[in-house]
Structure 1
Amino acid sequence: MRVPAPDPREVRDASLDELSRLGLPLPPEQFPLVWEPGDEIELRPTVEIEARMAVLHVILARCFGMPAQAAMSWLLNSHLVDMVTPPEWQFVMGGRGDHRSFVLHHDALFSLAWVLGLTKQLDPTLPVDERLVERLPHIAGGESFEHWRSRILAAPQHPADAAALLDLHYCLDWAYLELERDGRSRPGLVDANAIGQRRWALEWAVVLRGPYHDEPPGWEEVDLST
Structure 2
Amino acid sequence: MIGKLKGLVDSYGDDHVILDVQGVGYLVHCSGRTLQALPKAGEAAALFIETFVREDMIRLYGFATLAEKSWFLLLQNVQGVGSKVALNVLSTLSPAELANAVALGDKVTVARANGVGPKVAARIVAELKDKAPGFSSVDPAVAGLAAQIEERQAPGPVADAVSALVNLGYAQLQASAAIAAALREAGEGADAAKLIRLGLKELAR
TM-score range, shorter chain: under 0.3
Structure 1 length as normaliser, TM-score? Answer: 0.22
Structure 2 length as normaliser, TM-score? Answer: 0.23
Q: Which has the higher strand share?
A: 2
The structure number with the bigger radius of gyration is 2
